[in-house]
A = this chain, B = another copy of it.
Amino acid sequence: MDIPLRHRPGVPSFVEVSLPSDPKYLAVVCTMIREFARLHGMAEELLRKIELAVDEVCSNVIVHAYEGRHDAVYRVRCTFDEPRLVIEVFDRGHSFSLEQCPKPKLEGPLKSRGTGGLGIHFIRKIMDEVEYEGHLGGENCFRMIKKVA
């Protein structure tokens, strides 16, 4: 087993990646954030969840913020501020209101449930804190925090 990285004062613990809004590259950013979290000693089960949360946020940037365009650029920054893993996703597309996202129906016959809404549901279920800052014309930021102590 690797010895998990400890936070040493003064040494920044982060990684930041910019990439095109092409769905093909989701695997690249997910693989990277997973490796970063793994280095900080997180267990496989948690790594899977963190990967899912990152993927859901980035997929929303592609589909909603950039309306499916593949040639825009977004940025993912992951910081380990022990014991908090902070993940921020920045885009320059359409903003939205996180508070006004309706909760998905998770029970009853499938037909009655409607589609969508699962992404934000997963993110909220997995992470301890979720917030969003939309900026008209500037950069939007989706921030999520997982306490891993």
Q: A22: which B residues are within 8 A, CB to CB?
A: 11
Q: A36: which B residues are within 8 A, CB to CB?
A: 25, 28
Number of interface residues of A (CB under 8 A): 27
Q: A16: which B residues are within 8 A, CB to CB?
A: 17-19
Q: How many copies does the complex hold?
A: 2
- Chain A interface (Cβ within 8 Å of chain B)? 5, 8, 10-20, 22, 24-25, 27-29, 31-32, 35-36, 39, 70-71, 73
Additional A-B contacts beyond A12-B73, A17-B18, A28-B36 (12; CB < 8 A): A11-B20, A11-B70, A11-B71, A14-B20, A15-B25, A25-B36, A28-B35, A28-B39, A31-B31, A31-B32, A31-B35, A32-B32
